[in-house]
Amino acid sequence: MERDQRSPVIALTDDTWLLVLTGAGVSAESGIPTFRASDGLWENHPVDKVATLPGFRADPALVWRFYSERRAHAKRCSPNPGHLTLAAVERQLGDRFLLATQNVDGLHRKAGSQRIVEMHGSLWLTRCSDCNRPPFADEAEYLDGTVPGCKVCGTSGRPALLRPHIVWFGEMLDPDDLQRIDDFAQTASRGRFVFLAVGTSGVVYPAAGLVRVAARLGAETWLANAEPPENASLFRSFLQGKSGEILPRLFSLDGNPLGCAGLP
Ligand code: OAD
């Protein structure tokens, strides 16, 4: 890994295909807490109680309170220049762009990103913990100990519980999502393939393994992160700092040549 102290630019040539992986760090400058910082979400909330199926079965009210607080907080947050830059780059590249995010906060969509795979689900979707009803849009908050029930199904008159559409520890990611990322990478490898990871500690798989997949397919591998993450050595170029500052420069958006609305 080269730690790059210059101000390099990823030129968006006609044959450039860009796969971006984002993590909690990209939303930090919007005021959303990351997970593994000393004051991060997992420091103050026991993972096994709020982010596992057994935890939900044991205390669904606690789990709903946790995600309701996150909904309430995320509603008040706005995309930062990192999110806005990625949306602007997508407008330029069209189908030669894909954003795989581990974030559930919805800020990439708020910024205008459309070609997006939300690998770990979404704070803004709810599903039934029992029946096959598809996930549905939901911004409701359950802060008072209420646990919502499914209106579609019901066992012996008692409806099953609704749950947040979040991939919890011990659960599988949606295979269609992984296939979409893989298909994109395979197609990208026929052109100039660039892989960029932003704001992620590189410890949660399969997201942390995408850099290996990309490198095997011949991609240029870039990393923009506040600190060197676990898998930093797998990247060819590492830019250390805040993504809201690095990304506009990395795509030469300082002068706003891609027409990125909302950038300073
Ligand atoms: P982490 O909290 O593990 O890591 C966030 C990373 O962002 C750290 O490496 C920070 O150094 C970096 N960072 C912080 N502020 C930054 C900034 N302004 N600019 C750039 N980088 C910054 O979050 P994730 O890697 O996203 O899963 O965590 C992965 C998954 O673990 C999450 O999706 C979540 C969690 O358990 C689920 O909930 C399923």
> In the annotation, is 120 catalytic?
yes
Average pLDDT over residues 15-43: 91
37 Cα to the center of ligand 1, angstroms:
8
Domain ranges of the chain: 1-32+79-120+172-264, 35-76+121-166
Concatenating the DSSP letter of every residue in 148-184 gives -B-SS--BTTBPPBEEEEE--BT-PPPHHHHHHHHHH
Residue 196 and residue 238: Cα distance in Å, rounded? 10
* Nearest residue by C-alpha to atom 25 in ligand 1: 200
Residue 212 and residue 190: Cα distance in Å, rounded? 17
Identify the burial level of 179 via C-beta atoms within 10 angstroms of its C-beta, where 0-12 means exposed, 13-18 middle and 19 or more buried. exposed
* Nearest residue by C-alpha to atom 16 in ligand 1: 25
- Ligand 1 atom at minimum distance from 169 CA: 39
The helix/strand/coil state of 233 is: helix
Report if pTM > 0.85. yes
What's the CATH architecture for 1-32+79-120+172-264? 3-Layer(aba) Sandwich (3.40)
* Mutation choice for ligand 1 from 22, 29, 30, 34, CB with most ligand atoms inside 8 A: 34
Residue 12 and residue 57: Cα distance in Å, rounded? 48
pLDDT tops 80 at residue 173: yes
- Asked which of 131-135, 137-141, 189-193 is least confident by mean pLDDT, the reply is 131-135
Which pLDDT value is given to residue 36? 82
Which pLDDT value is given to residue 125? 98
Look up the CATH number of domain 35-76+121-166: 3.30.1600.10
Residue 210's nearest CA partner among 225, 197, 224 is: 197
In tens, the pLDDT along 222-243 reads: 999 999 998 999 999 999 999 9
In tens, the pLDDT along 89-116 reads: 999 999 999 999 999 999 999 999 999 9
Residue 158 pLDDT level (bands cut at 50, 70, 90): confident
Please state, rounded to an integer, the average pLDDT across all residues of the chain.
Answer: 92
Concatenating the DSSP letter of every residue in 70-107 gives HHHHHHT----HHHHHHHHHHHHHGGGEEEEE---S-H
* Nearest residue by C-alpha to atom 13 in ligand 1: 25
* Nearest residue by C-alpha to atom 6 in ligand 1: 200
Residue 193 and residue 215: Cα distance in Å, rounded? 9
* Mutation choice for ligand 1 from 52, 85, 200, CB with most ligand atoms inside 8 A: 200
- Ligand 1 atom at minimum distance from 167 CA: 39
Which pLDDT value is given to residue 264? 40
Pocket lined around ligand 1, Cβ cut-off 6 Å: 23-25, 28-29, 34-36, 40, 51, 102, 120, 167, 199-201, 204, 225-227, 229, 242-243
